[in-house]
C-alpha cells in the first residue's frame, strides 16, 4: 500500500465560529500523486485515507482545498489532544489510501 509522508502546520478553520475544525494541508505534489492513485473522485472530490500522526491512527477522508488545488486533512480533537498539537504546530503525517479506483 502506497504511503505518503509529509510535515504540515495545523490550522483552524476560521469560517466556522461555532465549533473548532482543524486541518493540515497536503503539499501540492503529494496531492497530485494522491489524485492519480485514488482514481475517479468520490462525493465532494474526497479521497478515503488512513492517517497517522505520532501514535494515533484513524480512517477519514481528505477533501479538496477550496481554490488551492490541494487537499485538506481534518484532525479530530482526540488526535490533537493525544499528540499534544495545537493551532500553528507542525506535525509529521503519514497517509495511506483506504481504497482506490484502480
CATH code (residue 91): 2.40.30.100
What single-letter DSSP state applies at residue 101?
-
Contacts of 57 (CB under 8 A, 6+ apart): 50, 51
For residue 102, being part of any structural domain is answered with: no
List the domain range (segments joined by +) for residue 32: 3-97
List, for residues 17-37, the tens digit of each pLDDT value: 666 889 999 999 999 898 888
The pLDDT score that the predictor gives to residue 23 is 95
What backbone phi and psi angles, to 5 degrees, belong to 10? -75, 135
pLDDT in tens, 37-90: 888 777 778 899 999 999 999 999 999 988 778 999 999 999 999 999 999 999
Residue with cell 479530530: 76
- Kindly give, in sequence order, each residue whose CB lies less than 8 Å from that of residue 73, ignoring residues fewer than 6 positions away: 23, 24, 25, 26, 49, 51, 60, 62, 93, 95
SS (H, E, C) 14-36: CCCCCCCCEEEECCHHHHHHHHH
The pLDDT value given to residue 38: 85
Number of structural domains in the chain: 1
Give residue 17's pLDDT. 60
- The model carries a pTM of 0.87
The verdict on residue 80 lying in a domain is yes
Amino acid at each position: 500500500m502506497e504511503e505518503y509522508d509529509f510535515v504540515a502546520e495545523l490550522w483552524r478553520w476560521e469560517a466556522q465560529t461555532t465549533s473548532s475544525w482543524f486541518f493540515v494541508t497536503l503539499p501540492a505534489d503529494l496531492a497530485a500523486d494522491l489524485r492519480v492513485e485514488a482514481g475517479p473522485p468520490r462525493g465532494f472530490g474526497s479521497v478515503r485515507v488512513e492517517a497517522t500522526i505520532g501514535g494515533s491512527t484513524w480512517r477519514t477522508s481528505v477533501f479538496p482545498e477550496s481554490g488551492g488545488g490541494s487537499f485538506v486533512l481534518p484532525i479530530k480533537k482526540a488526535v490533537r489532544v493525544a499528540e499534544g498539537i495545537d493551532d500553528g504546530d507542525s506535525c509529521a503525517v503519514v497517509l495511506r489510501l483506504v481504497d482506490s479506483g484502480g
